[in-house]
Amino acid sequence: MANLQLWETLKAAISAYTGLSPATFFTVLALAFAFYYAISGFFSSPEAPRTRAPPEEVKPLPPPVQLGEITEEELKVYDGSDPEKPLLMAIKGQIYDVSQSRMFYGPGGPYALFAGKDASRALAKMSFEEKDLTGDISGLGPFELDALQDWEYKFMGKYITVGTVKRTIPEPDAPAGDSLEAANRDGAKPAENGQSEGAAGEQAEVQPPKETTVGGDAERE
């Protein structure tokens, strides 16, 4: 109701001040705006054409290089710090070339700390702690081993295997009992030899003198 009264008041004002009907007034107003935009278009300076910057040339990735068996220390040099070297990481001793995902595993990426390492334990536990950046997966639970298996399947399907991590197996120490027994055996041998030589000397000392017969007389040597 209020809107209707407002519209009636507006029509009366237009007729009173312009002498035109409301329809004629709004038609003239629309034509005036159209004329203004048409004239202003002739005098405005043309916009400079937008030039697109040439796209940056993306160097193609070099083909993966097979490294064979390397140590964990040798693997550390492929952590992405040298752009001329491939970006590598390992899972369960298998080394993968992840250079195509440098945005994730390269410097500044969310998983950069896994690069250049066998991060099996960290991936299984989804841990970013330094102590878990190792290939030792002993003591992991079944859910963690399943998670690690999923990571391994993902890497096997997406990246190329370029080598394996050489594991150093420490030689087991000999039990203390065996060493002591071997020492006793070695020490017993000279004692037995000494005892045998002493017994032979005693037998030579207690041997009675031989009797010889010369010309029917018995003489003792």
What ranges do the domains of the chain cover? 68-165
pLDDT, tens digit (0-9, with 9 covering 90-100), for 194-209 = 444 444 444 444 454 4
Please indicate whether residue 205 or residue 160 has the higher confidence score (pLDDT).
160
pLDDT, tens digit (0-9, with 9 covering 90-100), for 1-50 = 666 676 677 777 767 777 667 777 778 777 777 777 777 766 665 555 66
Q: 126: closest CA among 139, 109, 138, 143? A: 143
Percent of all residues in the chain with a pLDDT value above 70, rounded to a whole number: 61
**In sequence order, which residues have a C-beta less than 8 Å from that of residue 144 and are 6 or more positions away?**
124, 125
Q: What is the average pLDDT value for the chain, to the nearest integer?
A: 75
Angstrom distances, CA of residue 163 to CA of 5, 93, 103: 87, 9, 22
Return d(Cα 103, Cα 31) in angstroms, integer.
58
Torsion of CA 70, 71, 76, 82, to 10 degrees: -30
Domain 68-165 class, CATH top level: alpha beta
Return d(Cα 168, Cα 93) in angstroms, integer.
12
Please indicate whether residue 45 or residue 131 has the higher confidence score (pLDDT).
131
Q: Is-above-0.85 flag for pTM?
A: no
